[in-house]
């Protein structure tokens, strides 16, 4: 029982015992209890997200993400917070919280919400860590990362997407995300090592520079497989100079390309 309420009840019990009016006390506790409960609920509630469509995000998390086994509370909070509809083209904004990927132009897609949450959870992040993403695309995954850690770097090979993501981060206040227009195969040496690296396009092999740029105990989550087909999602973990690889399951991502495009 809530402490002030308990104290109040004891005082009332004492008073009731003195005056002999126990029935009246029962009535009183019933009217007081909801008020106390409401105060407690208000105190426990997180700061409300400033973005509209919070109900749709909550439903998305409940039905698509938590129900499928994602439990990391930081990841769930991030998914309830980031305004996914702000990262999709106008004509798809109505579908932003649906259970599937959406086109973002230039032949690319924003991943299904569950896949974003699942991959982020697999990175096993703690707040002070530094994370590199390869394949910024819409910028949505990077924004989710930025809700969990302080330091996010993301590389995009299509110039127009890199530019649009940069503008969106500025517009939405995600000022801890750094964007580079380049081939992510080579990682981002200048800011290495990274505690975690996430790749959101599928190469046919794991780029060696990304393994090299992992910090000790660093994690790399990457889909690997033939372009256009199904791939396996792998979790690589570094311990000193040893790497262990765990197959997390089947996925389908856009191909990892090597040609730096301007448009
Ligand atoms: N994480 C993105 C998903 C975008 S789809 C999001 O949240 O929206 C994958 C992206 O990877 C595409 O934008 C594609 O252009 C990009 N990409 C493909 N090969 C790449 C490479 N070698 N380096 C950097 N980005 C690459």
For residue 192, what is the domain's CATH number? 3.40.50.150
Q: Across-strand partners of 231? A: 251
β-strand pairing of 151-156 with 102-105: unpaired
List phi, psi (to 5°) of 224.
Answer: -130, 130
Question: pLDDT-based confidence at 253, cuts 50/70/90?
Answer: very high
**Which is more confidently placed, 128 or 26?**
128
DSSP tag of 87: G
Question: pLDDT-based confidence at 191, cuts 50/70/90?
Answer: very high
Q: What residue numbers bound the domain in which 144 lies?
A: 54-251
Neighbour-count burial for 235-245, b at 16+ CB within 10 Å, e otherwise: bbebeeeeeee
- Asked if residue 37 and residue 60 are part of one domain, the reply reads no
Is 176 among the domain residues? Answer: yes
Q: Is the CB of 58 under 6 A from ligand 1?
A: no
pTM of the model: 0.83
Mutate to test the pocket of ligand 1, among 106, 131, 137 (most ligand atoms within 8 A of CB): 137
Q: Among this protein's residues, is 111 annotated catalytic?
A: yes
Helix (H) or strand (E) run with residue 131 in it: strand 130-134
- Asked if residue 59 and residue 27 are part of one domain, the reply reads no
Is 105 among the domain residues? Answer: yes
Is 83 among the domain residues? Answer: yes
- Asked if residue 63 and residue 14 are part of one domain, the reply reads no
List phi, psi (to 5°) of 101.
Answer: -70, 165
The string of pLDDT tens digits covering residues 142-188 is 999 999 999 999 999 999 999 999 999 999 999 999 999 999 999 99
- Asked if residue 135 and residue 104 are part of one domain, the reply reads yes
Question: pLDDT-based confidence at 228, cuts 50/70/90?
Answer: confident
Q: For the chain, what percentages of helix, strand and coil (3-state, to nearest 5) are there? A: 45, 25, 30
Q: Give the distance (Å) from ligand 1 centre to CA of residue 20.
A: 74
Q: Is the CB of 36 under 6 A from ligand 1?
A: no
């Amino acid at each position: 029982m809530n402490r002030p309420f308990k104290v109040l009840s004891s005082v009332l019990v004492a008073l009731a015992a003195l005056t002999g009016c126990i029935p009246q006390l029962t009535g009183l506790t019933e009217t007081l209890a909801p008020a106390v409960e409401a105060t407690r609920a208000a105190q426990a509630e997180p700061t409300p997200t400033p973005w509209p469509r919070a109900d749709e995000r909550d439903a998305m998390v409940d039905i698509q993400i938590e129900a499928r086994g994602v439990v990391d509370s930081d990841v769930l909070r991030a998914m309830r917070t980031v305004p996914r509809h702000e990262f999709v083209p106008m004509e798809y904004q109505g579908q932003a919280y649906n259970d599937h990927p959406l086109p973002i132009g230039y032949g690319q897609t924003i991943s299904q919400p569950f896949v974003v949450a699942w991959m982020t959870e697999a990175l096993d992040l703690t707040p002070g860590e530094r994370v590199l993403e390869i394949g910024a695309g819409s910028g949505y995954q990077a924004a989710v990362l930025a809700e969990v850690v302080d330091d996010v770097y993301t590389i995009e090979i299509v110039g127009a997407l890199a530019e649009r993501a940069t503008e969106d981060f500025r517009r939405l206040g995600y000022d801890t995300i750094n964007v580079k227009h380049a081939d992510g195969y080579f990682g981002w040496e200048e800011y290495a090592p990274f505690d975690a690296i996430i790749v959101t396009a599928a190469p046919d092999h794991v780029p060696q520079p990304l393994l090299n740029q992992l910090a000790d105990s660093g994690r790399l989550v990457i889909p690997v497989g033939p372009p256009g087909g199904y791939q396996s999602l792998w979790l690589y973990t570094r311990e000193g100079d040893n790497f262990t690889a765990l197959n997390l399951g089947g996925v389908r991502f856009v191909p990892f390309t090597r040609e730096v495009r301007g448009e």
